[in-house]
Chains A and B, each alone.
Chain A
């Protein structure tokens, strides 16, 4: 059971380039989330989804877009990368039944924008 898988694990982008981060979960969870983690800031929610075909903005959505075309996948896109988007990105999932048990996180994507 793989849990939550994120790809890629590392990436270096030039300012203005675009990329997509993929999150895949095999636990049939309804809810999926994208967070970024920066030193001294903790984990901040970018976007989330409460089911296939739905997305919603979190605390820091600007500069990012997301899609949830299939229940098991949640994609995070950066259309025009900026140095301020240098961060570690974590995907997480859970569902109504497991909400009391917290999230399952992916192993993270380390993104550097130069």
Chain B
């Protein structure tokens, strides 16, 4: 079983829409959780960490559900510039990072 699983999409949404991605993880002892953004042919870049209490950064909201072992990312008022692949990342006790395969988002004018 994969450590981290994501729906690959693609998600095609109009500008201004709200879109949500989910990611599940298999190790209940996982410690840290992140969402990364990766643009085409570029390196992944940290979008936001995910805290147990949930956290928000502008139009982006991340939530963690430890009981069900999933994390989510909500993007409100989508912009064309949000088009990218979003990677879910989970770490274990050994500081090893596990990446999902990514969810592709295209925001359409």
Contacts and interface: CB of A to CB of B under 8 A. Distances in A.
Please say whether chains A and B are actual partners in one complex. yes
Interface of A: 31, 33, 35, 40-45, 48, 50, 58, 90, 92, 94, 96, 99-103, 105-108
Interface of B: 8, 32, 34, 36, 42-46, 49, 87, 89, 91, 95-97, 99-102
Contacts of B8: 40
B99 A107 contact: no
B98 to A, nearest CB: 8
B101 A100 contact: no
Given A31-B95, A42-B102, A43-B99, A105 B89 contact: no
Contacts, number: 49
B89 A45 contact: no
A21 B8 CA distance: 30
Given A101-B49, A103-B46, A41 B101 contact: yes
Contacts of B99: 35, 42-44
Given A40-B101, A42-B100, A43-B99, A102 B34 contact: yes
B28 to A, nearest CB: 19
Given A41-B101, A102-B89, A103-B97, 19 more contacts: A40-B8, A40-B101, A42-B87, A42-B99, A42-B101, A43-B44, A45-B97, A48-B96, A90-B43, A96-B95, A99-B91, A100-B49, A101-B46, A101-B49, A102-B36, A102-B46, A103-B46, A106-B43, A108-B43
